[in-house]
Amino acid sequence: MSNAVEKLRNWLLKKELHGVVLSHEASVAWLFGGRYHIAIATELACAQVLVTLDTVEVLVNNIEVQRLQDEEALVADRVLVYPWHEEMIKYKWLSNWLKNDRIVEESKVKEDIQALRLVFSESQRHELEALGQSVATALYQTSIGLRPEMTEYEAAGFLSEECIARGVEPIVNLVAGPKRARLYRHVLPTFEPIGSYAMLSVSGRKKGMVVSATRMVHFGPVAPMLRERYLAVLKVEAALLRASVVGTRLGDALSAGIQAYSSQGFPDEWTHHHQGGIAGYLPREVRAIPNHSMKLAPSMMLAWNPTIHGVKAEDSVLLRNDGIDVLTSDEAFPRIAVEDDEFTVQLPDWLSL
C-alpha cells in the first residue's frame, strides 16, 4: 500500500466516509507516482480511481491501460477497462461508484485531497532532490549556451530540450530579454531577440511532482543599477525563506517578504505579481496571500518568486523541522550569500557571459 493510499484511508476514517473518486491529474499522479496525462497541461487524469477503505479500483480506457500498467506504476485491486469509443460505459461505472452516499467525488473535497498531497514522504523527498538537481542543471546548460541574437523562443526551445533530455516535463517555460522582462511578470517567449540579458523560468514535472526555478543571465558586465535591483529581490527571497518555518502561517511568511520589499525601497512591487507559496503536484498548490491561515509543515515544498521590475528570484525548497533544503541549488551557477537578520542562504547570482 502506497503512502498516498494510507493517507487517503486515514482521511476517510476521520470523515466517516467509505471512499473517494479521484479524477484530477495532480491527485492521480500523486497516488501512483506516474504520468496520468496525455496533454502536458491538462486538469483531468486519463484514469479515474476509486480508493475505499478496502480496495483501489481504476477506470481507464483501452488506449491507456497497458501503458499505465507497464510504465506508470498502475497497481490496483481491480482495473475496469472500457472501449475508448464508448464513453457511456465509463459514466455508468462512475455512477455505480457514486450510488453509495459514503463515496464522494474529488471535486466535493478538493481542498482536503490537496492538503494530503502537500507533505512528501521520505522516498518522495529523495525523488524531489533528484528532480531539483535536474531542473537546476537544465537551467545552467541552457544559460551558458545563450547568445544576445537568439530569440526568446529559441532559448525556450533549448530549455525545453535540456529538461526533456533529463526526463523532466517543462510545464512552465518562460523566457524574456530586458524589454519584455520590464513590461510583464509572466513572460511567455516570443520572437523578440534576447538582447543584453535574459530571465529564464521553468517549472519541471517528473512523476507528477513539480519544482520551479528562475535564473538571470547577462551578456557582459552587469550595470550597477541592475545588480542592485537583483540584490534587492534576493533580499526579499531571503526574508521569505527565513520566515518559512514549520508551524508558521503561510500569510505570516508572506508578510515578512512584503516588509522586505519596503525595506529595500520597493514597497508596491509585491502587488504586481503573486509571490509563490506551497508547491507540490502543481507549480503552486497554494498561493500565499495576506492572512492565509495554512500552517507550514515538515516536508512541504515551497517556491517563492519575488519580482522587481525586470528581475526575478525563484528556487524550490523543502522544509525541515530545523530549516530548509534548497532543492534547485547548483554549484556550477554563480551563487551569492544573502543575509536576512541572522539567516544566511546561498542564492543564484547573475551569470555573466
Q: pLDDT tens for residues 11-59?
A: 999 999 999 999 999 999 999 999 999 998 889 999 999 999 999 999 9
Q: Is pLDDT of 222 > 90?
A: yes
Question: What's the CA gap between 58 and 65, in Å, rounded?
Answer: 10
Place of cell 470523515: 15
Q: Classify 212 as helix, strand or coil.
A: strand
Residue 61 pairs in a beta bridge with 82
Q: Cell numbers for 97, please give them.
A: 461508484
Task: Write down the pLDDT at residue 41.
Answer: 82
Question: What's the pLDDT score for residue 320?
Answer: 96
Q: For residues 206 and 40, give the distance between their C-alpha atoms in angstroms, rounded to a whole number.
A: 11
In angstroms, rounded to a whole number, what is the distance separating the alpha carbons of residues 96 and 351?
58
Give the residue carrying C-alpha cell 550569500: 337
Q: Per-residue pLDDT tens for 269-287?
A: 999 999 999 999 999 999 9
Please give the mean pLDDT across all residues of the chain: 96
pLDDT > 90? residue 134: yes
pLDDT at 153 over 90: yes
Domain boundaries, the chain: 3-116, 122-352
SS3 of 35-82? CCCCCCCCCEEEEEEEEECCCEEEEEECCCHHHHHHHCCCCCCEEEEE
Residue 1, pLDDT > 80, answer no
Percentage with pLDDT > 70 across the chain = 100
Distance, in Å, from the CA atom of 104 to the CA atom of 118, rounded to the nearest integer, reads: 21
Contact yes or no for 348/216 (Cβ under 8 A): yes
**What type of residue is 152?**
E
Rounded to whole angstroms, the Cα distance separating 337 from 348 reads 9
- Level-2 CATH architecture, domain 3-116: 3-Layer(aba) Sandwich (3.40)
User: 122-352 has which CATH code?
Assistant: 3.90.230.10
CA 331, 233, 176, 25 torsion-angle sign: positive
What percent of the chain stands above pLDDT 90?
A: 97
